[in-house]
A = this chain, B = another copy of it.
């Protein structure tokens, strides 16, 4: 193992100068900087993270907490955050809360306590009061993506605006019988996935002079399968059939498309379908959607965290940059049948 002393010796300076030159903390003459850099390169020197952490209290490591990994949104956020962190020289430690209760507890009681991370990014996490407490007691900066956490700076999509846009798109096409598949409440209890997109939908309808009909509202679990079953109910009922469905996620919307097909309905001729997400599968299915950009959200969270970690060193982030989203119109929506 090549140590800082080896570099110092080769560069003909003290270890302190090497440390300063390589870390960028403290002033070093150009000449010294040059010698140090050369020596370090020649020796393939990389600081030992444990030694550095122990001495400085900084770890150059950030924790990423997710409810689980096998969901497009979560993985995308993680991917975006991970790449951004790497660019800042940070490692990423993954905390997956999908295990047993005991395991989940140990994340808070043991893993977070061992001084391995400088900060945390939580993704769509629904935390208990105790967990939030422990998170704060941890004393390191925390940034959340998706779903508010008490006392934590969180990035959340403007659900009202997004669902209002989706609904308005259908209204503008001339639809009046618009159904909505939202998330079920008990789903929201486990991890935070917005179940409150219903509000924007109803507002948009009301603004258009339409009273939301309860029989046009249904809930599912955000998956293709869930959306499929909900849509079957909505479309198969002998009541006046809706001419459009707005689903709270692309996966559910894809489920709707498949359900419509199985019922012999043609999309969009007989039924228009719109989702929210910009899921990787949405293009293939020709799904109109309001795209959100989870990778960007992850990267954005990193920016904020970096500001908290090394104040002043990074460009200031406006306190509340809203998260971006775009209506992407494809072939699953059109004017309603005459």
A residues sitting closer than 8 Å to B (CB atoms) are 1, 44, 46-51, 53-54, 59, 61, 64, 68-70, 72, 75-76, 78-79, 82-83, 86-87, 89, 91-94, 96, 98-99, 103, 106-107, 109-111, 113-116, 224-225, 228, 261, 280-281, 284
Contact = CB atoms under 8 A, between A and B. Distances in A.
Contacts of A93: 61, 91-94
Contacts of A53: 50
Given A91-B93, A114-B49, A83 B54 contact: no
A15 to B, nearest CB: 16
Contacts of A69: 69, 75, 78-79, 82
A248 to B, nearest CB: 19
A49 B76 CA distance: 29
Contact of A48 (B72, B111, B115): B115
B96 A94 contact: no
A116 B261 contact: no
For the complex of A and B, list the 9 residue pairs with the smallest distance between their C-beta atoms, beginning with the closest.
Answer: A50-B53, A46-B113, A49-B114, A50-B54, A50-B50, A49-B116, A48-B115, A225-B284, A69-B79
21 contacts: A46-B109, A46-B110, A48-B114, A49-B50, A49-B115, A50-B50, A50-B116, A54-B54, A61-B116, A69-B69, A69-B82, A70-B72, A75-B75, A83-B99, A86-B96, A86-B111, A91-B111, A93-B93, A93-B94, A225-B284, A228-B284
A49 B59 CA distance: 10
Contact of A50 (B59, B83, B96): B59
Contacts of A78: 69, 94
A195 to B, nearest CB: 22
Contacts of A61: 93, 116
B83 A79 contact: no
Nearest to A106: B86
Contacts of A59: 50
Nearest to A137: B44
A94 B75 contact: no
Contacts of A72: 70
B116 A103 contact: no
Nearest to A71: B75
A294 B212 CA distance: 45
Contacts of A113: 44, 46
Given A49-B114, A116-B61, A103 B76 contact: no
B70 A280 contact: yes
Given A86-B106, A116-B61, A79 B98 contact: yes
A79 B50 contact: no
A53 B52 CA distance: 11
Contacts of A224: 281, 284
A48 B50 CA distance: 10
Contact of A70 (B46, B75, B89): B75
A219 to B, nearest CB: 18
Contacts of A280: 70
Contacts of A50: 49-51, 53-54, 59, 115-116
Contacts of A82: 69, 94, 96
A330 to B, nearest CB: 14
